[in-house]
């Protein structure tokens, strides 16, 4: 069974820098597990790792699709899985999209599935929340709803797909074996410290040209109604460009929405029962990387 080391955590917790330091220790590649850094041209607003920050470490799954296209977790798992299979050494997966880790580690219990419908269900999840999706599944297949982990959005969406196809997941296997030997580490820091770092990062993004980046994307692609253009940092600046708010209001909203996103990330990571939590407060990236490396050799 192939393996990988996962580094995840909230936005602004320092994942990318730790991944680079750990990759240098383990002498391996890094694969991004960030649902927005996959998009071409979305660099500043996603805090995409730069060539300088990579420090010679090879990175995969960055800039793989145009922003006017949707990209599902199913497609991510397919692409990232092929990379893992072809690499000679176990890579490091780094990113804050817990959904990507789950989709990669746990394969669907049933084969098939319509990619377009999966995108629609994922959009419904983003707009209406997990509780709405669970209620919808209960209407379709109450028996399955009673036996699967309804706190896991991957499981819920897959169960809905199966139920909509006329099958019942409860009649098949409800647990899938991990597809990879994954050792996942969740980086965490004090909530107040995290919020301060979020505010600083947003200010840095704006100073670094976020408005011009969004302008360029709008000029090239128009304003698309898809995941990329709904990303935090982009949708607020688009509102500013459309004259619906001032720049200061847009910046404040980015900070608020990023904090809310961090809260949702924390909730998701707490459900990842295969993960180990690492407190990063007061530690350098090198120290954190060495701490993780020590766990790996135990």
Asked if 91 contacts 247 with a C-beta cutoff of 8 angstroms, the reply is: no
What topology does CATH give the domain 108-171? Histone, subunit A (1.10.20)
Asked if 41 contacts 214 with a C-beta cutoff of 8 angstroms, the reply is: no
Report how far apart the first and last C-alpha atoms of the chain are (Å, whole number). Answer: 19
Distance CA 221, CA 238 (A): 13
Per-residue pLDDT of the chain (298 residues; tens, 9 = 90+): 899 999 999 999 999 999 999 999 999 999 999 999 999 999 999 999 999 999 999 999 999 999 999 887 778 999 999 999 999 999 999 999 887 898 899 865 544 557 678 778 877 887 788 889 999 999 998 888 887 778 777 778 878 988 887 766 554 433 467 899 999 999 999 999 999 999 999 999 999 999 999 999 999 999 987 788 989 999 999 999 999 999 999 999 999 999 999 998 898 888 787 899 999 999 999 999 999 999 998 6
Q: pTM of the prediction?
A: 0.81
Query: What residues have CB less than 8 Å from 147, skipping those under 6 apart?
Result: 170, 174
Torsion, Cα 179 185 186 190, to 10 degrees, reads: 170
User: What strands, in cross-sheet order, belong to the sheet with 59-60?
Assistant: 59-60, 30-32, 92-94, 3-9, 181-188, 275-279
Q: How far is CA 62 from CA 31, 76, 150, 188, 263, in A?
A: 8, 11, 31, 24, 25
Helices (H), 50-190: 51-54, 73-86, 98-105, 115-128, 130-140, 142-147, 153-164
Q: Where are the domains of the chain?
A: 3-103+180-297, 108-171
φ, ψ for residue 145 (rounded to 5)?
A: -60, -30
Asked if 38 contacts 26 with a C-beta cutoff of 8 angstroms, the reply is: no
Both tokens of 175, joined, read 């647990």
Asked if 168 contacts 144 with a C-beta cutoff of 8 angstroms, the reply is: yes
Check whether domain 3-103+180-297 has CATH 3.40.50.300, yes or no: yes
Distance CA 56, CA 146 (A): 49
pLDDT digits (tens, 9 = 90+) for 67-112: 999 887 778 999 999 999 999 999 999 999 887 898 899 865 544 5
Fold match, 3-103+180-297 / 108-171: no
Both tokens of 51, joined, read 């060539």
Helices (H), 141-246: 142-147, 153-164, 191-207, 210-221, 235-241
Distance CA 273, CA 270 (A): 7
Distance CA 242, CA 141 (A): 43
In this structure, the strands spanning 30-32 and 275-279 are unpaired
Half-sphere exposure of residue 277: CA atoms within 13 angstroms, side-chain side: 13
Helix 210-221, helix 191-207: angle, nearest 10: 60
């Amino acid at each position: 069974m192939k393996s990988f080391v996962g580094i995840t955590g909230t936005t602004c917790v320092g994942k990318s820098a730790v991944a680079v330091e750990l990759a240098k220790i383990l002498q391996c590649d890094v694969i991004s597990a960030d649902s927005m850094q996959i998009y071409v041209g979305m660099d500043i607003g996603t805090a995409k790792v730069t060539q300088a920050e990579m420090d010679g470490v090879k990175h995969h799954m960055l800039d793989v699709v145009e922003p006017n296209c949707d990209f599902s977790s199913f497609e991510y798992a397919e692409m990232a899985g092929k990379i893992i299979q072809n690499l000679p050494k176990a890579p490091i997966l780094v990113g804050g999209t817990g959904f990507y880790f789950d989709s990669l580690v746990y394969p669907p219990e049933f084969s098939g599935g319509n990619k377009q419908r999966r995108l629609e269900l994922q959009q419904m999840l983003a707009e209406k929340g997990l509780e709405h999706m669970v209620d919808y599944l209960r209407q379709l297949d109450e028996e399955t709803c009673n036996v699967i982990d309804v706190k896991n959005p991957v499981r819920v969406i897959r169960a809905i797909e199966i139920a909509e196809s006329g099958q019942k997941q409860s009649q098949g296997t409800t647990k899938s074996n991990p597809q990879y030997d994954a050792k996942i580490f969740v980086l965490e820091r004090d909530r107040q410290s995290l919020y301060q770092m979020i505010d600083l990062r947003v200010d840095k993004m704006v100073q670094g040209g976020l408005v011009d980046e969004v302008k360029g994307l709008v000029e090239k692609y128009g304003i698309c109604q898809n995941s990329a253009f709904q990303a935090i940092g982009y949708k607020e600046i688009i509102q500013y460009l459309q004259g619906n708010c001032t720049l200061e209001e847009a910046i404040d909203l980015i900070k608020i929405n990023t904090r809310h996103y961090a809260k949702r990330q924390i909730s998701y990571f707490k459900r990842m029962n295969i993960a180990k939590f690492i407190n990063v407060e007061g530690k350098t990236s090198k120290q954190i990387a060495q701490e993780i490396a020590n766990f790996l050799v135990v």
